Structure 1
Amino acid sequence: MAISEDFVANGFVKIRAASDEVGLAAQALLWKQIGLTPDDPSGWTEPVRWAADLTGEGPFGQIINSPELARALDEVCGQGGWRKSGSCGNIPIRFPKVPPADDRGWHLDLNVMREDGSWAVSARSATLLILILFSEVGPDDAPTRIRVGSQRDSIAALGEGVHEHVPASRLVEAASAHRPLAHATGAPGEVYLVHPLTVHAAQEHLGTRPRFMAQTPVFLSAPLDPSADTPLARAVR
């Protein structure tokens, strides 16, 4: 299946944006940022540590600015339908063998800014979500859970309103409960393009090595219009 066909059918698609080596180079910088090492598990005492790429330099820039990612975004959003990101943004690092964080509910990411500057959830999303892998992520390594095709349930459940995050999460969780599951597994340097209305959730880490993954919003040039002639729009029809 082509990128656009996968995206329309499932609400997400995985691409190779950079090599394993580039992804692992970014991971090495993240270890330094959080002051821990891959060889000393005694320091892995929290279920989640947050890091960030705010500059888009080095291996982070090689991924976020890769021609492969740009081509995939063009195919999904349409030429000129998205705005270039300057960095990979927030990066939650999930650690194994510690009590899990209480952050594993089904949800949509905040995707629209109100006039007062606060963020909310709307079917007329202003963003697309990308998940950037900086480590090998297998079935036990806390891969993001994805409800396949749930973007179509979300647009019906949300209607025309603008919702607070928790009420919106409850709406889309209930509406998409019948959907099959997929898991965002993969290799360093791979990227998932996720429809802004695709319902997803974190999960407990049952593996042995920390999982490094960025959760990056890509801003759309205009709010999601379900009538538009793009895979992003066709995915909710």
Structure 2
Amino acid sequence: MPADTASDRALGAAQIEQFITDGYVRLDDAFPRPLAEAVRTRLWRDMALDPDDPAGWTQSVVRLGIYSEAPFVDAANTARLHDAFDQLAGPGRWLPCGAMGTFPIRFPSPDDPGDTGWHVDMSFGWESPDFLDWRINVASRGRALLMLFLFSDIGEDDAPTRLRVGSHSDVARALAPAGEAGLSLRELMASDFGGSASRPQVAAVGAAGTVYLCHPFLVHAAQAHRGHRPRFLAQPPLLPARPLRLDGPVEDTAPIETAIVRALSG
């Protein structure tokens, strides 16, 4: 994969290498703050809650979605994000986001939200009523990127998503023997996601307008909110326009594919 030295690209060569090695890259100012404010205004309205009245925030997490209108879709389709998608997934190999997906809105609370387990987002097999039977395979069928869109300022105490750095490589090696059929979430959990528990962790913190672009195999988890203001975040997938290729020529291999190839050859 040739290094990209153009200064006007969304991601520099070092950031692309970080994505391949660590499984994620943080893109600041990926969409404008006014869009984040407009999204929060709509979500407060849909929750029928007052942003200035904490007495009404009685649940630790409220889930809303799916949203497919402006400003939600506008936030997912900025020129800066599209350029980053080209750099990580390859030009013409991804589909523009038509919806922002669901919003797990987390509120300050001493209660356990009950959904903080480590996991990988499954990408097919959704016909099963048991989500533990949903599947993923080594070619990441049905998903090009995992994305975390920050619609509010998120600090260390504001329930930032936890990421296991480099865990995408462990998951790739666990998936490889299963071929096209892949593994279920239940099967990956039994191996602790390829034995990735000892990997270092980072928190997906940042200002509203930040987007974390993650390899689809990256192991991640929610956590309880110990701050003061609700956390607004969405986690839509980037869908592929064609299946990933793990046996193509090096010069035609996108970083999401390179990360898998390196994991399997290392």
Alpha-carbon distance change, 220 to 186 in structure 1, aligned in 2, over 3 angstroms = same
The partner residue of 1:84 within 83, 96, 116 is 96
- Give the number of the structure whose residues are more often strand, by fraction: 1
Q: Deviations over 1:40-79 (max 9, x none)?
A: 111111111011242231x212211111111001100010
- Contact map agreement 2:173 2:194 (CA 8 A) in 1: no
> Secondary structure of the equivalent of 1:109?
coil
> Secondary structure of the equivalent of 1:42?
helix
Alpha-carbon distance change, 201 to 114 in structure 1, aligned in 2, over 3 angstroms = closer
- Contact map agreement 1:23 1:134 (CA 8 A) in 2: yes
Alpha-carbon distance change, 170 to 104 in structure 1, aligned in 2, over 3 angstroms = farther
For structure 1, the 5+ residue unaligned runs are none
What residue in structure 2 maps to residue 100 of structure 1? 112
The partner residue of 2:161 within 119, 125, 144 is 144
Whole-Å separation in 2 of the counterparts to 1:172 and 1:73:
29
- Contact map agreement 1:173 1:199 (CA 8 A) in 2: yes
1:191 aligns with 2:219: no
Whole-Å separation in 2 of the counterparts to 1:93 and 1:166:
26
Alpha-carbon distance change, 230 to 209 in structure 1, aligned in 2, over 3 angstroms = same
Percent of aligned positions with the same letter in both sequences? 40
Greater Rg over alpha carbons, structure: 2
Instruction: Report the TM-score when normalising by structure 2.
Output: 0.82
> Secondary structure of the equivalent of 1:211?
coil
What pairs with 1:42-121 in structure 2 (closer than 5 Å)?
A: 42-57=55-70, 59-113=71-125, 119-121=134-136
Q: CA RMSD in A?
A: 2.0
What pairs with 1:182-221 in structure 2 (closer than 5 Å)?
A: 182-221=202-241
- Give the number of the structure whose residues are more often helix, by fraction: 2
Whole-Å separation in 2 of the counterparts to 1:176 and 1:31:
37
CA-CA distance at 1:115 after TM superposition? 8.3
1:129 aligns with 2:153: no
What residue in structure 2 maps to residue 22 of structure 1? 35
Of 107-116 and 151-160, more deviation after overlay is shown by 107-116
Alpha-carbon distance change, 96 to 116 in structure 1, aligned in 2, over 3 angstroms = closer
Count, aligned residues = 236
What residue in structure 1 maps to residue 259 of structure 2? 235
